[in-house]
Structure 1
Amino acid sequence: MFTGIVQGIAPLVAVDEKPNFRTHIIEMPDDLLSGLELGASVSHNGCCLTVTAIAGNRVSFDLIKETLRLTNLGELAAGDVVNIERAAKFSDEIGGHLMSGHIIGTAEIAKIYTSENNRQIWLRMPNVDLMKYILHKGFIGIDGISLTIGEVINNRFCVHLIPETVQRTTLGKKRLGDKVNIEIDPQTQAVVDTVERVLASREAAIAEDVVSVPKV
């Protein structure tokens, strides 16, 4: 479990490429190495990955086919950087919102508006069906960053970034057309899916009643 508060950025120093499989080796910031063990969970651009090897401050993670399909991690090369967050502990402050590290897909950066001390990013969701989970003032995870959703129009939505977010994360270096990982707030998803199931059940019951009414 994660909080969406990025703890640092880490350079990808090596990539071992295999068919439908990758191993990423990152240079973990020194202040995030304490207590790190094999099997631990670390968020990379919002995607929960498992530590498979530790050699000093170089830490390895395996990416399987499903991870490469759903996230932007398969497009990274040595020299790129990723947002990093260690798994949350029960005593940690939840400064963002609870996140699982399970990415549902990517969104494309469509527009960037920059003004003094402010940045607004508009994102386009290629999967229109997922827009039902994106609600004005709701929570969303973008490359592992907990953000509040701004305006929502058709298959686009925007987020507003403070200078701290721009400086501490990779979002400050994103350009038009770049892809970012998206995690939907699980509570929002549960509510929307439950309401849909209830309404579908009621509609089916009404339709069945209409069919069963005897004709005079």
Structure 2
Amino acid sequence: MFTGIVQGTAALVAIDEKPNFRTHTIEMPAELLPGLELGASVAHNGCCLTVTAINGNQVTFDLIKETLRLTNLGDLKLGNKVNVERAAKFNDEIGGHLMSGHIICTAEVAKIFTSENNRQVWLRMPTHDLMKYVLHKGYIGIDGISLTIGEVVNNRFCVHLIPETLERTTLGKRRLGDKVNIEIDPQTQAVVDTVERVLASREAAMAVAANTVAQ
């Protein structure tokens, strides 16, 4: 599990490309190295990856076909940076919201509005059906960052970024057309899916009852 509080950014220093598979190596910030072991979980742009090799401050991870399909990690090039967060521990402060590191899709940066000390970014989701999980003032994970949803219009929504977020993460470098990883708040998803199932079951029961009366 993760908290959505990005602990730093890491540059991609090596890529080994294979069919439907990629191994990449990042230069981990020194403060995140203590206690890091093989098999540990580290979020890259919000996507949970497993450490497969450690060589000094260079740490390697494998990306399988599903990861490459659902996230923006397969688009990375040497020198690009990713937001990194080590897995949360018991008794850690949760300043964002609980996140699983399971990316549901990527969204496109559609608009950027910049004013003094503020930036508003509008994102376009790939399908309308995912928008049922995007609620005004709800939580969402964007490239591993826990953020609060602002306005919601059709298949778009916006977030407001403070200078600290722009400075500490890669979002400050995002431009129009860029793809960002999206993780829906799991509690929101559970509530929406449960309500849908209950309503569908109730409608089915009412339909059966109406047919019985008609007969």
TM normalised by structure 1 equals 0.99
Map of 1:25 onto structure 2? 25
Give the match for residue 42 of structure 1. 42
Tell me the residue number matched to 2:165. Answer: 165
Structure 2 counterpart SS, 1:181? strand
Q: Give the partner amino acid of 2:212.
A: S
* Corresponding residue pairs, total: 215
The aligned residue for residue 97 of structure 1 is 97
Q: Secondary structure at the match of 2:102?
A: coil
- Map of 2:111 onto structure 1: 111
Cα separation, 2, equivalents of 1:150 and 1:177: 20
Q: How far apart in 2 are the matches of 1:125 and 1:23? A: 28
Corresponding position: 1:11 with 2:26: no
Q: Identify the residue that residue 66 of structure 1 maps to in structure 2.
A: 66
State how far apart, in whole Å, the 2-side matches of 1:167 and 1:30 are. Answer: 18
Unpaired runs of at least 5, structure 2: none
The amino acid that maps onto 1:117 is N
Equivalent residue number for residue 207 of structure 2: 207
1:78: how far off?
0.7
- 2: CA distance, partners of 1:31 / 1:98: 22
Give, as a single letter, the amino acid of the residue that structure 2 aligns with 1:51: V
Structure 1: stretches of 5+ with no match in the other structure: none
* Structure 1 partner of 2:154: 154
Give 1:176 deviation, angstroms: 0.0
Displacement of 1:213 in angstroms is 1.4
Task: In structure 1, give the amino acid aligned to 2:68.
Answer: L
Q: How many angstroms apart in 2 are the aligned matches of 1:127 and 1:61?
A: 30
Deviation, 1:191, is 0.2
Q: CA deviation at 1:25?
A: 0.2
Secondary structure at the aligned position of 1:213 is classed as: helix
Secondary structure in 1 aligned to 2:24?
strand
Query: For 1:80-107, what per-residue CA distance to the aligned partner results, in whole angstroms no more than 9, with x for missing partners?
Result: 0000000000121000000000000000
Match of 1:52 in 2: 52
SS at the partner of 1:36?
Answer: coil
| Displaced runs of 4 or more, over 4 A | none
- RMSD of the TM alignment (CA)? 0.6
Give the TM-score of the pair, scaled to structure 2: 0.99
Provide the residue aligned with 2:139 in structure 1.
139
Q: Distance in 2 between matches of 1:41 and 1:205?
A: 45
- Aligned-partner residue type, residue 16 of structure 2: D
1:214, distance to aligned residue in structure 2 (A)? 4.3
Take 1:56 and 1:199, find their aligned partners in 2: how far apart are those partners? 55
Secondary structure of 2:182's aligned partner: strand
